[in-house]
Amino acid sequence: MRAFDVKICGLSTPETMAAALERGASHVGFVHFAKSPRHLDIAPMAVLVRQVAGRAETVVVTVDPDDALIERFAREVKPDWLQLHGRETPERVRDIKARTGLKVMKALPVATAADLAAVAPYLGVADRILLDSKRPKGSDLPGGNGVSFDWTLLSAAEAGLDPQMGYMLSGGIDADNVADALAIADPSGIDVSSGVESAPGIKDVGRMHRFFDALDRLGEPARKARIS
């Protein structure tokens, strides 16, 4: 039985990171993308990653990084994962894995059923797929926009995913809709960012507790049973 993962992304302070770890987040994410309100420079990101101290897996989220940047992540931050949220091809994902030795999660945007065709080329290349909403018109952010896509589309995606890899579901998930998301889709984990914020980039400990409380009400055995 594979454990159900919960990733809290876009963390930037020791206090909010501590709350995520206390409530049992399996992954904590830190964003390095200048246009994002959640952007962190490498030095403070490295400090937070060290403070995790093995209590969760650490994820650096970045967009179309060049070789110099990914090598800095590997050398200075030392995360468990790189999450690629740009236009990285399967070949680029393979190259990044080889250069860094890190696990790679590839984010793919979804708006229609046709978008799910993008999943197949990354299977066996990326260590994990993250399915997120396409950016709204006018947004410069590839993720963290606080909008959801039609989760009923994922019955088609699930049929084509490697059951040992699974996928993470992202995009507008919060305490009010996480039960609906998990009733419709069957991810191996969920990724939450804006859903636990009081304003863009400002993580809210109260909202984080409310989110984990909503998960607790679903019951851990029930959540694990969906992905056994």
Strand 81-84 and strand 57-62: pairing? parallel
DSSP H stretches of helix in the chain: 14-22, 42-52, 67-72, 90-100, 154-160, 178-184, 205-218, 220-225
Q: Give CA–CA dist 119/102, Å, rounded.
A: 20
118: Cβ–Cβ under 8 A, 6 or more apart, which residues? 108
The residue annotated as part of the active site, out of 9, 186, 191, 216, is 9
Tokens 């995790």 — which residue?
Answer: 52
Q: Is 9 a catalytic residue?
A: yes
Residue 205, φ and ψ in degrees, nearest 5: -60, -40
Phi-psi label, residue 212: left if phi above 0, alpha if psi -120 to 50, beta otherwise = alpha
HSE on the CB side for 78, CA within 13 Å? 11
> How many residues are there in the chain?
228
* 110 and 149 Cβ atoms separated by less than 8 Å: yes
Q: Is 41 a catalytic residue?
A: no
> 132 has which bridge partners?
109
Q: Give CA–CA dist 91/103, Å, rounded.
A: 15
The residue annotated as part of the active site, out of 132, 180, 186, 191, is 132
Residues with a known catalytic role? 9, 132
